[in-house]
Amino acid sequence: MSRFTTALAAAATPIVAEIKPTDGAGADLLRGRTPAQVLTDYHDAGVACVSVVTGRWFGGTRELLRDVAARTSLPVLQKDFVIREAQVRAARELGASAVLLTAQLLPAAALHHLVEHALSLGLTPFVEVTTAAEIAAVPHAADCVVAVNNKNIRTREQDGADLGRSLRLLPAVLASGTGFPVSASGIDEPREAAELLAAGYAGLLVGTALLHAASPRAWVDELSRHRLEEGRHARQ
């Protein structure tokens, strides 16, 4: 396993917590906090990994990734629209342990090439999918995180989330051979998060909900309570 997937597997609550300055409509998500302060809250909450959005649609920069990676011992995912080898190399140079590859935007040959390039550099390909056909096209899936995006990137993720997409596509994701299926985006409530983990997801990427939360630790603690309740019900 890679550093990124090892952290997900070892975490009591396998959350990839996101840092992004704005939402797709330009609304401020940091609300006066520095990225370092948000990162401190995530450490306190016990998240497994951190995602840093460097895409300009969400106010991100490469410098933000470098700053966060330098301040944490947690594995860091770079989230951007990566389409070239040079971007993959830059992700590693900036301190990332994983890099987002969006299947919806990449022809099959390009996705295959970028996955292999990321793996050759020791990066975990975090391959984002939205359909069964995209899942079937993921190369080397056993070495990748395969993440179902519950939102629509073509509308800058301003549409409502469809968590049902994660549930519908989970069998196909598992059949791909990945050991790390992830449900990503639009997970607002701890109860929803618990249900996705109970269904069989090995991790969750949570962004706006944690950035809006008064206390990320309280959000994660509530998720843990729901998981315990579901475990008790399953045993009855």
Q: Report helix, strand or coil for 23.
A: coil
Confidence of residue 156 (pLDDT cuts 50, 70, 90): low
SS3 content of the chain, % helix, strand, coil (to 5): 50, 15, 35
**Cα-Cα-Cα-Cα dihedral sign, residues 72, 76, 81, 87:** positive
Residue 155 has pLDDT above 90, yes or no: no
**Residue 231 confidence (pLDDT):** 72
Higher pLDDT, 23 or 85: 85
User: What percent of the chain has pLDDT above 90?
Assistant: 89
For the whole model, what pTM was predicted?
0.95
- What pLDDT, in 10s, does the model give residues 163-185? 999 999 999 999 999 999 999 99
- What pLDDT, in 10s, does the model give residues 196-209? 999 999 999 999 99
Residue 150 has pLDDT above 60, yes or no: yes
Q: Do 59 and 25 meet the contact criterion of CB atoms below 8 Å apart?
A: no
Query: What average pLDDT score do residues 13-17 get?
Result: 97
Retrieve residue 214's tokens: 């008064």
CB neighbour list of residue 77: distance below 8 Å, 6 or more residues apart: 4, 16, 49, 50, 51, 52, 96, 97, 98, 99, 100, 124, 126, 205
| 11: nearest Cα among 230, 197, 213 | 197
Query: What average pLDDT score do residues 96-116 get?
Result: 97
**Residue 75 confidence (pLDDT):** 98
Query: What average pLDDT score do residues 107-124 get?
Result: 98
Architecture of domain 3-235: Alpha-Beta Barrel (3.20)
**Residue 218 confidence (pLDDT):** 98
Give dist(CA 15, CA 45) in Å, integer: 10
Which residue do the tokens 């396993």 mark? Answer: 1
**Residue 152 confidence (pLDDT):** 79
Retrieve residue 189's tokens: 């409530």
Higher pLDDT, 57 or 145: 145
Query: What average pLDDT score do residues 115-122 get?
Result: 98
Spell out the alpha helix ranges (H) of 99-150: 108-120, 132-136
End-to-end alpha carbon distance in the chain: 35
Confidence of residue 57 (pLDDT cuts 50, 70, 90): confident
